[in-house]
Chain A
Amino acid sequence: MTETTSVLDRPLELAAQVSVRPERFGALLYHFGTRRLSFLKDPRLLAVVQRLPEVPTARAACTACGVEPGSLRSFDAALRRLLDTGMLQERPA
């Protein structure tokens, strides 16, 4: 996997030590290993994160959750940040 591959084309899932608490604005995520708290500031992002394990790529999760093509860039950035902070992990192929 190279740096240039969009995070949207990877198979992702929530990291094992992460708990999700749905909220009106989206969700709170807490990683018990890093003790880091994150906010999902959009309910659709929560839906995408929850869909990740069922589909081959993050892009497929976005499509399944009705994310319009014009919004994909911002979802790409948000998912990348979650991956970089260890909230998400790459799923073994």
Chain B
Amino acid sequence: MTTTAIPLVDHFAQGLDAPICITWELTYACNLACHHCLSSSGRRDPDELTTAEAMAVIDELAEMQVFYVNIGGGEPTIRPDFWQLLDHAAARGVGVKFSTNGSRITPEAAARLAASDYVDVQISVDGATADVNDAVRGEGTFATAVQAMEHLAAAGFEGFKLSVVCTRQNAGQLDELKALADRYGAQLRLTRLRPSGRGADVWDELHPAAEQQRGIYEWLLEHGEEVLTGDSFFHLAGFGEPLPGLNLCGAGRVVCLIDPVGDVYACPFTIHDEFLAGNVRAEGFAAVWRTSELFQSLRGPHSGGACESCSAWDACRGGCMAAKFFTGMPLDGPDPECVKGHGETALATIDSASAPRPSIDHSKPTPTPVVLRRRPDRSCDESPLAGLDVASLPTPAGAT
């Protein structure tokens, strides 16, 4: 039933007075050093928001009627005031869904989380088996995540999320990942790997191969709304039917990112000066959201370039801005994972060394392996792990 003059999706494309959902990276500190970390996290930034400043952000979100915020990092539970901020959000009626590697989800923490209506938890796992997961997240991280899930299930926390970034290595494990979530009464959430943060360094080795994209698409169609995706696979809508969700790039329109120092970016995958809208300290979040020039421009009309003449244009709208930007592709060109193959063609003409680097990097100095930022020779692409010696990846420091 709709009698609106313009479709709902167009309302969203033009931006709302308040975001539907915000991602808030609470800290850049992390006890892990995942190779594909979208925020290049590792070390805390000395300028991170204080407890009082973070609470003021929560108050503002409550006033704007932002229903919930996705908290991440870094590892958000490392912040000493993490629980205090959760309690403040609940008191103000702002729901929190936080992402964690599970290392601090003790039985006591699980019981506390299970008791709150306002908190949801996402345990990050990037493979259905320890070998696949630990290769990107660090040795022992699969066991840690599974233990956290056991604690949550034992505490009676139903429907927490198992959050998985789809990679070339785990794209064949989707059934097993779903079974893993089911075992603990959790819901599977699959998201798309972006070449953001350290993800840029491993994109060539980790992003699903072209033939795997269709498999992911069909699997998602088959499982419908029982699997969450954060709307991140809308570039696959070009295969045919749209996937459940808005099928829209919400950056600066219905979503955005607040980083640990209060900088507001268009989306969680765009930590770069080019997509910086303002800072909550200087202006307050509402003012940044409503008046930033960047967000105003994202809410205006956009050219899709050559994509506009493609039969899939209405379905994918050119795909993901961050995926294009950090692979060095023009924003009005195809997505690097364009289902029609236009991305691969365009990518082949781009010198990857010219792709923008993240403006800020909080990686720990030692643990991230040096992966040369060069696109592997296409003729060597048969091996999904070409150029990445998984067995030799060092254990991230402190990943105990």
Cβ of B93 < 8 Å from any Cβ of A?
yes
Complexed CA–CA distance, A24 and B17 (Å): 9
Query: What A residues does B118 contact at CB under 8 A?
Result: 32
Which residues of B (90-116) have their CB < 8 Å from a CB of A? 93, 95, 97
- Closest chain A residue, CB of each to CB of B17: A23
On whether A42 and B68 interact (CB within 8 A), knowing A24-B11, A28-B20, the answer reads: no
With an 8 A cutoff between CB atoms, is A37 at the interface?
A: yes
Task: Contact check, B95 vs A32: say whether CB atoms are below 8 A apart.
Answer: yes
Instruction: Evaluate whether A26 and B4 lie within 8 angstroms (CB atoms) in the complex, with A21-B18, A35-B120 already known.
Output: yes
- Residues of B with C-beta under 8 A to A35: 68, 95, 97, 120, 159
B8 close to A (CB within 8 Å): yes
The listed residue (A28, A32, A33, A74) touching B1 by CB distance below 8 A is: A74
Question: Which residues of chain B are within 8 angstroms of A33 by Cβ–Cβ distance?
Answer: 117
Closest residue on chain A to residue B90 by CB atoms: A32
Instruction: Mark each residue of chain B from 1 to 45: 1 if its CB lies under 8 Å from any CB of chain A, else 0.
Output: 111100010010000111010000000000000000000000000
| A24→B16 CA distance, assembly (Å) | 8
**Interface hub of A39, A71, A74 (most chain B Cβ within 10 A):** A39
**Contact in complex: B20, A42 (CB < 8 Å):** no
Nearest CB of B to A73, in Å? 8
A8 to chain B, nearest CB (A): 13
Q: Is B275 in the interface zone, CB < 8 Å from A? A: no
Let me know if B65 is at the binding interface, CB within 8 A: yes
The residue of chain B having its C-beta at the shortest distance from the C-beta of A29 within the complex is B67
Complex: A35 Cα to B18 Cα, angstroms: 18
B58 to chain A, nearest CB (A): 15
Residue of A nearest to B14 (CB): A24
Closest chain B CB from A15 CB (angstroms): 13
B234 to chain A, nearest CB (A): 17
The main secondary structure of chain B at its interface with chain A is loop
Which residues of the other chain, A, contact B93 by a CB distance below 8 angstroms?
19
User: Which residues of the partner chain B approach A19 to less than 8 Å between Cβ atoms?
Assistant: 65, 67, 93
Contact A39 B1, beta carbon cutoff 8 Å: no
A33 to B95, CA, bound (A): 10
Q: When the two chains form their complex, are residues A41 and B1 in contact, meaning their CB atoms are under 8 A apart?
A: yes
Q: How large is the interface on A (under 10, 10 to 19, 20 to 34, 35 or more residues)?
A: 20 to 34
Per the bound structure, the CA–CA distance linking A21 and B254 in Å amounts to 14
Given the known inter-chain contacts A17-B117, A25-B8, A37-B67, please indicate yes or no for A45 contacting B16, CB distance below 8 A: no
> Once the chains bind, are A25 and B67 in contact (CB under 8 Å)?
no
Min CB gap A44→B, angstroms? 8
For A37, the chain B residues whose CB sits under 8 A away are 20, 67
Contacts A19-B93, A33-B117; is A42 near B4 (CB within 8 Å)?
yes
Is the CB of A77 closer than 8 A to any CB of chain B? yes
A26 to B1, CA, bound (A): 12
Chain A nearest Cβ from B203, distance in angstroms? 31
A41 and B4 contact, Cβ closer than 8 Å, known pairs A21-B18, A32-B95, A33-B117: yes
Using Cβ atoms and an 8 Å threshold, which residues of chain B touch A47? none
- Nearest-CB residue, chain B, relative to A21: B65
Residues on B lying within 8 angstroms of A by beta carbon are: 1-4, 8, 11, 16-18, 20, 65, 67-68, 93, 95, 97, 117-118, 120, 159
Extra inter-chain contacts (17) besides given A21-B18, A24-B11, A30-B67, CB under 8 Å: A17-B117, A21-B65, A25-B4, A26-B4, A28-B20, A28-B67, A32-B67, A32-B118, A35-B68, A35-B97, A35-B120, A42-B1, A42-B4, A44-B3, A71-B1, A74-B1, A75-B1
13 residue pairs bridging A and B, Cβ less than 8 Å apart: A17-B117, A19-B65, A21-B18, A23-B11, A25-B8, A26-B4, A30-B67, A30-B68, A30-B95, A35-B68, A37-B67, A71-B1, A78-B1
